[in-house]
Structure 1
């Protein structure tokens, strides 16, 4: 990894663990403790290096049409924000989050942050030893949840047409979150690979068998514990409890007279007879209505006989439309390039370059 001389001086004894090309001469470097952004020579001044420590309490992301901004919140020490091309956001956000998680002590030494997923308000960070989940407007803050693989006993997936539900069984409870259909395959493959690699098994079935064996050993250990005889009942004897004379409530069914039962039965029969006749009448009416609907002729075309005809597109119109679309796209690209130059000039003026 080749480093500009200015970046080497800023890093000191640290070594970069990741590098992301931002366009032109600009580069982003990740070290264990900070993020460094190298800006090459611009329109007004020389190269520079910006530094963003990883001891942040919160990470926020905002996106526009061409740019994305990452804001690192340091609590009482304020905030720092840097802008990058929007198409580079995923490549930048992943190593920045990895550095912040490491600085916060959430991930251990030697633990690899495999990938970061963002699904609307859900951020999912998959490492080689755990899953970190955060829900909210920010990408990450201290309201996160983590599920170490040491506590995971099962992993299943419930597929749907729009999203797939990922179900993690952790310490006897289920943790659920949804992944969009277009990202579900990647989430499923990554979680399966990292979990089975952590337990050194060939697949999820082997992992489930391993978890079942571990649970069986725990149950045997609990069964061997003897707490002795339990305390005797306070005063009641079993015979007294079972004695019907000690009951406090009578069965209301025993007091119902026989005449009431007979009257109820005849009423049910009458209702059943009436209901059957009504059902038959309704079914006949529905059948007649369906037959009448089937014999009705289809509606005529609303334009038939009116003198109007639907115009068909011609080849010349299609060609003109294609040429116009190409011209609009070309002008849009030129405008975007000019806007980027103007924005770069404004940023350099603000930095005093």
Structure 2
């Protein structure tokens, strides 16, 4: 699918990694470094392109029933916001968030974002190499936590009546956070698959076996490295070095709200116009007296020329029909304009 000429001129050969349809002819183009929002010509605006850099310190989302807004905060350089339809929000937000995380150095340049989950004040991002977790009103800012798959030794899920707890074992400690039950299956699927593919295993059971073998091998190597028989001709007289290990296990639990609050937005209603036709008052002309016209006693009555003929009635009906059809066409045209205006307003114009 070709790109609008105005978008091509701004891209200047830059690679587009994601393209999202926003409704109508409006589109969103995401490159590694920036996001372009293309607005086609409409009733409210001319054709235009807005550019948003991914070098943001904070990403925030405001979501309503019909409309949503994405805000990129650049610190001292201010912030920029653009609107879009609420049903397009998740599709547009994911590539933008990937670009921001890459620009901030949270993920590698060639590391792809697999899925981004938003649970009220918890944002949980699954990439090819790590998990990024952020708690707060923003989708992401500089107060975040990341867990690389190299440091993960176990993954489990604890089901509850309302929420499911994801338990990540990282460097001997457990990191816990909750997800709504309606999203738990997708979280389990995406996270388990990413972790297993990174460690080249087929399932979580295989992953646990691999981790257990690695722990045993590491413990054996540590024991060999820390065994010392001393120096000199009499190794039996030397005192071996005492080995001490300090447990470093801690558990902390982060809780997140289990439902996403939504604020209702008033729907727009449109009342079409009605056309009323008033009856035409007809006037009846009295027939002249036959005696006055000289027909008295002849047995004939004079013809009244004021009475319309069949041809006159047909012509009148046809004329009225043309008027009604013209009014109906005007109403349909006005209705199309109203529907187009509503559609543009819903798309955040």
TM-score class, shorter: 0.5 to 0.7
- Comparing both chains, which one has the higher relative contact order based on Cα–Cα distances under 8 Å and sequence gaps of 6 or more? 2
Alignment match, 2:174: 174
Alignment match, 1:94: 94
CA–CA distance in structure 1, aligned partners of residues 76 and 126 of structure 2: 30
Alignment match, 2:186: 186
**Structure having the higher Rg:** 2
Cα deviations by residue, 1:160-194 (Å, 9 ceiling, x for unpaired): 12111000000000000111010000000111111
Contact 2:162 2:180 in 1 (8 A): yes
Matched, 1:28 2:56: no
RMSD: 2.7
CA–CA distance in structure 2, aligned partners of residues 163 and 84 of structure 1: 30
User: Against the structure 1 CA distance between its residues 216 and 16, is the aligned structure 2 distance closer, same or farther, given a 3 Å change threshold?
Assistant: same
Question: TM-score scaled to structure 2, two decimals?
Answer: 0.67
Q: Secondary structure at the match of 1:194?
A: helix
Alignment match, 2:39: 39
User: Against the structure 1 CA distance between its residues 38 and 168, is the aligned structure 2 distance closer, same or farther, given a 3 Å change threshold?
Assistant: same
Contact 2:43 2:341 in 1 (8 A): no
Aligned pair count reads 250
CA–CA distance in structure 2, aligned partners of residues 28 and 218 of structure 1: 49
Question: TM-score scaled to structure 1, two decimals?
Answer: 0.66
CA–CA distance in structure 2, aligned partners of residues 122 and 339 of structure 1: 37
Alignment match, 1:268: none
Q: Counterparts in 2 of 1:63-78, with a 5 A limit?
A: 63-78=63-78
CA–CA distance in structure 2, aligned partners of residues 132 and 340 of structure 1: 41
Q: Counterparts in 2 of 1:277-296, with a 5 A limit?
A: none
Q: Which has the higher helix share?
A: 1
CA–CA distance in structure 1, aligned partners of residues 338 and 117 of structure 2: 33
User: Against the structure 1 CA distance between its residues 46 and 332, is the aligned structure 2 distance closer, same or farther, given a 3 Å change threshold?
Assistant: closer
How far apart are 1:333 and its partner, in Å? Answer: 5.3
Q: Secondary structure at the match of 1:83?
A: strand
Q: Secondary structure at the match of 1:155?
A: strand
CA–CA distance in structure 1, aligned partners of residues 169 and 137 of structure 2: 26
How far apart are 1:15 and its partner, in Å? Answer: 1.2
Alignment match, 1:203: 203
Gaps of 5+ in 1: 232-330
Cα deviations by residue, 1:256-282 (Å, 9 ceiling, x for unpaired): xxxxxxxxxxxxxxxxxxxxxxxxxxx
Q: Secondary structure at the match of 2:21?
A: strand
CA–CA distance in structure 2, aligned partners of residues 186 and 344 of structure 1: 33
Gaps of 5+ in 2: 231-238, 242-266, 272-336
Moved over 4 A (4+): 337-340, 342-345
Alignment match, 1:164: 164
Q: Secondary structure at the match of 2:222?
A: helix
Alignment match, 1:226: 227
